[in-house]
Structure 1
């Protein structure tokens, strides 16, 4: 008996295969968006080469912003792939729609995990009043994996990679989150400041173009494919490039500000969980350690692997199959094992 999770990420689509009888035999694999967008590689074929499809008892996936649904639903119940629009979601690197279509027609029982937005019932009403969108769907999976790994019912989870999104979990329910366009910088995406707003108003750039160049890339002077941004910035950092050093230092500052902001409004926090390709990074740059130094005297800080998105999705599939009706305050609808 096998459960599968999928993380529809910015740089690629990641899968975790989770055998129910031995969690140590977990298998992760990732297919880059650039490869998927060519149509030369089939995600379903890659999955079936690792596990027979008829052995998959349940699969849970994320797709884009997930703002068209607010419960976890079987794929056959979902309309318009569970999104309102693909607009304003950052760099469109392609491939995700092809994967969704393959899975939709695979015959595998699949659940779609929603994002966090103004129609998500478990969110604090003040967050929903302030912001229309809070986090894309894979952040729910990341938070669930963080909960299972840490055992903390009250925590802050920061996913730091191409963008940075930070979530507040209280009493095992997601209560708040700061999306990439309003909070801390990631490598690629970041908040829109006054200069960018003026550029948009003057017709020089679109809002999405600004959002997709508002992270560390704008400080480091990097303009490359999303999949290459991390390597290029880190190479410049190691070479002693002042702009790259300032870019990562600025990222850290904005992330610490965001975490402290959530700490300031939380009723109780047991600890902070960092993840993502940058949040968990210790070599060649100890990004995790730098963030921990700002926080550890006040609150425990741990990290979990960058595979937390797909792993959390697989764990959601397993636990729903075994009868769980709610994940971090998000209800399961229309699935009866």
Structure 2
């Protein structure tokens, strides 16, 4: 189904918030191994064989493994595909079920261990629960409907057991932990509101004054100014990626349907590009059917490839322009740099050269296929 160039801003913001759930799988992997370690230690320190302890521990490990596997399986789609709101909603649910399932099992396991007379194990469980809640707040904080219930499910049962024990130490522990849970939940909600506003601001392109008159994207001068102002501050220790792209099949659209349809197509492309980039990155129209995207603060070079694939998938979706259903594609040249003092025009030139090298390679492959 074609993506509409008039897709509501709230829907595009929602898609970006869902993408954030899949951005970093490392905390889930760390939590899985941390739980396995804690479970192994508590099992060995347990004075007698406890089938319920083992059952809860094994179930929690399986849920944690499922959470990691599901995130890994759908991560590429979440970060690169052109998504509408229903598709993003399905991805959110796919992420949420194993996530909340592990939180519930972790909470039951922690409460059961707290009920056992193993004081050293209580310390281990508290460390595990605090680490888990910190990971939830940072990893899923942009979706509070997942983050807050997960924290409550994980740490709530232990708070309850501590209160039931009714001795001063455990009552103090329950009160302090409950206060931290409340404060953490408030922080998650405030962070969500702040980031939602920032993403909406970026998607609407209201942060830059110099715009292309047709697409309302930043122009080449605005791109240069934004790069100079933000390269060092946003990417003090990270990589910078510059993408140079043009549209394959745009000229035939102009020739067949006229410049009015061509202009409307460029405006629709610009809207999709705005929705494809992250908060803090920038997309600009350089002229004609040529655009540039700059990513700041990358940790790995393959993050640039993920965005290039996402842009390609986004542009490949058919466009509805008036009564016409138009299909085009894009070719992208990408340069990743660690030098924040390098001139933008040189990076754009290098990315442009890679773009045309890809075009030549693509045309050569097509010629060989036709010859065969």
Normalized against structure 2, the TM-score is what?
0.24
Q: Which has the larger radius of gyration?
A: 2
Q: Which has the higher strand share?
A: 1
Higher relative contact order (CA 8 A, sep 6+): 1
Q: Which has the higher helix share?
A: 2
